[in-house]
Chain A
Amino acid sequence: MKPEDKKTKGINIDTGRLKENLLNFVVPIVAIAIAIALAIFVIYPSFKKLPLVKADLSSKAGMKQTLSTKLQRLNRLVDFKSVVDEDSGLVNKVLVSEEEVPRLLDQVNQIATNAGMSVTRLSYSYGSSGTSDKNKTKAYSSVSISLGTDTNYEQIILLMQSVENAARFVSVPNFRYSTGTSNTGDKKLTASFSLDSPYLLVQSNAVTDEAIELDISSQKFIDFINMIKGLKYYEFLNPNIEVVKEESEEEAEAGETIPANSQP
């Protein structure tokens, strides 16, 4: 037994050979230690971080693209400001910002009389709110009109066509007609129509990071503007038209006759 060998409780450790072996394997040991250190402190954290950084890059690239497109569209809107103003004016005639009940009643009255009908009843109430397709939140409010007339079948068709081609949007949820007898004993057709007209005050805000979907050069928008250009605009002929306001569900008071040009 060599003198440097140690004897401790039955275990023999040849420290000399151990040191010798360690010295022989110093390069592999150091290399593996560095490799492990790289794996722990560089590769693994980077491996975890890389997808996050890529996602961040992708998100920012998307944001840049959105803003870039938005700026292009805004610049186009600035270039064609007169066209946009004209289009806005047309759209505002079709979907008005306020109730404008007297004007609406005058439009309906004109349509009915132009069709040859004799208007016997014209009243309005505030109707329910409508929803749009995209989100089912309240999209617009509406005025409901009840129209009663003495008429004939051809005139009803004419009235429907005029309503469908009127500048201010009006829809007819339901209507009816029936044959009756006049005071003179003649047969006459009496018709009643329920008409709805939406109105909407739009007050949008500028949200820098949100895209603008409106593209005034898109075929869809151009077709729409061309369509509403073909609608007939009725001038306000009789601002003092007398109308009856009907009681809506929310209102406690009974219906009252009021001048139409007064605000409800």
Chain B
Amino acid sequence: MVGDINLIPQEEVTEQKKSKAVKTSTYISLGVLLLSVLISAYFVLAISNIKTQIVKIDADITSLRVQITKLSQVEISARNLDRKFNILLTLFKERPKYSLLLEEIKSRNPEELTIESLDVKTNQTTVSGIAGNYIAIASFINNLVSKNFEGGNPKLKDVFTSVTLNSVSLEKATNQVKFFIVVNFDEAKLR
């Protein structure tokens, strides 16, 4: 059996290993150093660049502020106008047009029925009156809640959400029927 015989002296082997270790560690450490330098350079340049931009923007801001300050009277007028404009927008948007409601009630009111009193509040109105017969009252209530009623304003087809008949009574002397109803309506449709 032939065995391998290493004729290189042990000291030389150690020296070679040491040399290789020095070489490898030198390359790795120099690589790490180079990477650190590059990352550092990136950060320094990036921050420096941003700071330069900030200085330029600061100068622009100062210039703009000076120009705006010279127009302070115009600014006050604009702010006054803007505030009133916004408040009025809200007021107009929230104001219900009760003229539309009254016209809609009138259009849905049958001829045989007379409204004697009307009390309109937010989203609700109470109506009382007299009618020639019960059918007229029923017709009035049906007209109010009908979403297919064709005589009125098409935009207000479903303005009335519910109708409650609170009382109805026959007056024998006049042979007429008195009624009292509560009508709920969607005020948003009147805006």
Contacts and interface: CB of A to CB of B under 8 A. Distances in A.
Interface string A227-261: 11000000000000000000000000000000000
A43 B43 contact: yes
B40 A43 contact: yes
A42 interface: yes
Nearest to A133: B90
A132 interface: yes
A174 B122 contact: yes
B115 to A, nearest CB: 8
Given A24-B18, A84-B77, A174-B120, A202 B67 contact: no
Contact of A95 (B65, B87, B98): B87
Interface string A198-242: 101011111011001110000001001001100000000000000
Contact of B80 (A25, A78, A134, A202): A202
Contacts of A179: 116-117
Given A67-B64, A77-B74, A42 B116 contact: no
Which secondary structure characterizes the binding site on chain A?
Answer: helix
B25 A25 contact: yes
B95 A43 contact: no
B85 A224 contact: yes
- Tell which of B61, B80, B98, B115 has the most Cβ of chain A within 10 Å: B98
A16 interface: no
Interface in B1-52: 18, 22, 25-26, 28-30, 32-33, 35-37, 39-40, 43-44, 46-47, 50-51
A74 interface: yes
B164 interface: no
Interface string B65-90: 10111011111111111111111111
A35 interface: yes
A47 to B, nearest CB: 7
Contacts of A173: 121-122
Interface residues of B, number: 68
A177 to B, nearest CB: 6
Interface in B85-136: 85-92, 95, 97-99, 102-103, 106, 115-122
B29 A71 contact: no
B61 A74 contact: no
A160 B99 contact: yes
A60 B25 contact: no
- Tell which of B68, B121, B122 has the most Cβ of chain A within 10 Å: B68
A156 B102 contact: yes
Contact of A38 (B37, B60, B72, B97): B37
Interface string A21-58: 00011011101101100110011001101100110110
B83 A202 contact: yes
A43 B39 contact: yes
B166 interface: no
Contact of A64 (B30, B60, B76): B60
- Tell which of A24, A31, A156, A169 has the most Cβ of chain B within 10 Å: A31
Interface of B: 18, 22, 25-26, 28-30, 32-33, 35-37, 39-40, 43-44, 46-47, 50-51, 53-54, 57-58, 60-61, 64-65, 67-69, 71-92, 95, 97-99, 102-103, 106, 115-122
7 contacts: A53-B47, A61-B57, A74-B74, A74-B75, A169-B92, A171-B95, A174-B121
Q: What 5 pairs across the A-B complex have the smallest Cβ distances?
A: A46-B43, A204-B79, A160-B99, A28-B29, A178-B117
